[in-house]
Amino acid sequence: DAKTTQPNSMESNEEEPVHLPCNHSTISGTDYIHWYRQLPSQGPEYVIHGLTSNVNNRMASLAIAEDRKSSTLILHRATLRDAAVYYCILGRDYGGSQGNLIFGKGTKLSVKP
Amino acid sequence: NAGVTQTPKFQVLKTGQSMTLQCAQDMNHNSMYWYRQDPGMGLRLIYYSASEGTTDKGEVPNGYNVSRLNKREFSLRLESAAPSQTSVYFCASTSYGTGVYEQYFGPGTRLTVT
């Protein structure tokens, strides 16, 4: 399974944009890029996913490099509630859904008021 | 909808004791998963069930057994608990093959084995 590389931690100020990077240089053509986050003492929750094009939803935006070897999760205005561990995961497509997700250590995002 | 529920929330076991962790989902999902998360680490897949009636090993299955009781319920059993199994256990579900990509996670069971 292809691996991802993320910074261990990042800091942000409240109400400012946050760009969380992820490198996945061994990504294959059928791998989707998924982002999950885990708030303290909770289970992970889905944030966004994409294949080739940039994606937007109510939580965040996902910018995917043209060669797909890296991606960036963008939180447009960080709030204190966004303080969490963010996981970038590659999931192979199996006929309409991802294969098993492999979680790394993720990036711990701290948000300062 | 309750989503994914897990019982118990907390459990302390002595080495050698057995227990079953329960998981249920009310979203009509066909795939269910059990993960464990050790302190400061990401989640690791223990077992999964792609559909009712099937189960498969994940990355760290040793010391565990699972049962897919029906479409809603997926249980994880520790036959003889060991201190190395001290962890937080998460259950998740998703709809395989329907274009739904999100996995939905339960709140976790915090297990301590002494």
Shortest distance between the Cα of B20 and any Cα of chain A, in A, equals: 19
Of B42, B95, B104, the CB nearest to A106: B42
Check CB contact of B90 with chain A, cutoff 8 Å.
Answer: yes
Lowest mean pLDDT among A48-62, A79-93, B95-109: B95-109
pLDDT, tens digit (0-9, with 9 covering 90-100), for B31-89: 899 999 998 888 999 999 988 889 999 889 999 999 999 999 999 999 999 999 999 99
pLDDT over 50 at A97, yes or no:
no
- The whole-number average pLDDT for the span A35-48 is 94
**Which residues in chain A have their CB less than 8 angstroms from residue B4's CB?**
43
pLDDT over 70 at B97, yes or no:
no
The pLDDT score that the predictor gives to residue A96 is 43
Across A44-58, A89-103, B10-24, B25-39, which has the greatest mean pLDDT? Answer: B10-24
Q: Which residue of B has its CA nearest to A88?
A: B42
Q: For residue B108, what pLDDT band results from cuts at 50, 70 and 90?
A: very high
**Which residues in chain B have their CB less than 8 angstroms from residue A91's CB?**
101
Spatial CA neighbour of A98 closest among B45, B59, B60, B102 = B102
CA A90 to chain centre: 10
Q: For residue A20, what pLDDT band results from cuts at 50, 70 and 90?
A: very high
What one-character-per-residue DSSP string does chain A give?
----B--SEEEEETTS-EEEEEE-TT--TTEEEEEEEE-TTS--EEEEEESSS-EE-SS-EEEE-TTSSEEEEEESS--GGG-EEEEEEEEEB-SSSB--------EEEEEE-
**Cβ contact A98–B101 (<8 Å):** yes
